[in-house]
Amino acid sequence: MSEFENSTAPQDQRTMALVAHILGIFTWVVGALIVWLINKDDAGKGFVVDQAKEALNFQITMGIAFIATMILVIISFGLLFFLPGLLGIVNLVFCIIAAVKANNGETYRYPFALRLIK
């Protein structure tokens, strides 16, 4: 459980956390990485740092999964052509859910993200 679970983050931090999650849809890891790097040394921005790391970890996981699905498509001679699109839909849905939760001041943990950035 996160330290922010029972507290309400300030609106500016909630907005930045929302941005970190939404940017994952459009910029893969770049947006969340920038948000995390800008805020990681500021002790007062704990909610933003936590959610930006979570978004970054999820996008890294999605990148690994995308590479794996492309390999599966190639190995199956195109029979599994739908997997990259399905992965894109999963990314979109989870990023939107995370953004809404972050905007409400709730910490969000993606259900199957590799926690590579601690």
| pLDDT, tens digit (0-9, with 9 covering 90-100), for 16-66 | 999 999 999 999 999 999 999 999 999 899 999 999 999 999 999 999 999
Residue 80 lies in a domain: yes
Range of the domain at 78: 11-103
Residue 111 lies in a domain: no
Residue 113 lies in a domain: no
Q: What is the pLDDT of residues 69-82, one digit of tens each?
A: 999 999 999 999 99
Residue 4 lies in a domain: no
Whole-prediction pTM: 0.89
Residue 2 lies in a domain: no
Residue 5 lies in a domain: no
Residue 73 lies in a domain: yes
Count of structural domains, the chain: 1
Which residues 6+ apart lie within 8 Å of 47 measured at CB? 4, 9, 10, 13, 14, 17, 105, 107
| C-beta of residue 26 within 8 angstroms of C-beta of residue 58 | no
